[in-house]
Amino acid sequence: MPFRRHPSIVLLSLTIFVASFALTLAAPAADDDTYLLELESADADATLDRSRLSLLLDDVRGRLWASRGAVRRLQSTIDVTTDRSIRVSLGSEYSAHDEALVAMKLALPALLEDPQSVDLLFDVLRSGEKACWHLTRYRRVAESYGSLPEYQAAVAPAAEACRKLGRAGFSAPVRAALVEGLAQDSERDDQLGELREEIAALEELFEDLRRIEAADP
């Protein structure tokens, strides 16, 4: 007589699997938070674990990439507007976000192979920052013109990934590493100044979004 699993055993097995899978997903996020807190509390001359930083940036890239569909769909409740300029603005922000995200995705394998390279770190941070800058502006425009809450919620993982990138890029050890590594190259030094300003502006955008989200009943 063939063996048949009792339904309760199957349910228990499924419950254990789901719980284990959830823990597996949650673990990197918890590790990232610990690492980010260490970065934020460290002095500029602290030793920077660049391998760990490159892995965190790859995780940010993965979460942003996984959210591409949700980000694109955020326009769907806006496209019915009669104001063509709003559609154009949203489309422009989305295209710029996706273009920068593709650049980040293409740059990351080289950084993972050579995490000590300041040039590669700069390129990944710059493209990631641009992707997040345009994503955050895109979310604000969409929210201002009535995007549905469930569409905004679907983009939340991407927004959280951007906050991680902002925290890492704004930390003293990362900024110091970039300054030290790029200061000899005048063109790169100018770009570094732009990156600092852009990350600071991104932080302000994040704060605006936090205030909006906190005020939302």
183: Cβ contacts below 8 Å, ≥ 6 apart: 189
What pLDDT sits at residue 206? Answer: 62
Q: Give residue 215's pLDDT band: very low, low, confident or very high (50, 70, 90).
A: low
136 within 8 A of 205, measured Cβ to Cβ = yes
The distance of Cα 159 from the centroid of its chain, to the nearest Å, equals 6
What pLDDT sits at residue 131? Answer: 93
Q: Which residues of 103-128 are buried (b: 16+ CB within 10 A; e: fewer)?
A: bbbebbeebeeebebbebbbbbbbbb
What pLDDT sits at residue 80? Answer: 58
pTM of model > 0.95:
no
Q: Which of 16-20, 46-50, 143-147 has the lowest mean pLDDT?
A: 16-20
What pLDDT sits at residue 108? Answer: 97
Evaluated on CA atoms 123, 124, 129, 135, the torsion sign reads: positive
Q: Which residues of 158-196 are buried (b: 16+ CB within 10 A; e: fewer)?
A: bbebbbbbbbbbbbbbbbbbbeebbeeeeebeebbeebe
What's the Cα-to-Cα distance from 53 to each of 38, 67, 146, rounded to whole Å? 12, 21, 37
83: Cβ contacts below 8 Å, ≥ 6 apart: none
Higher pLDDT, 33 or 61: 61
User: Is pLDDT of 4 > 60?
Assistant: no
User: Is pLDDT of 7 > 90?
Assistant: no
CATH of 49-215, picked from 3.30.2010, 2.60.40, 1.10.10, 1.20.120, is: 1.20.120
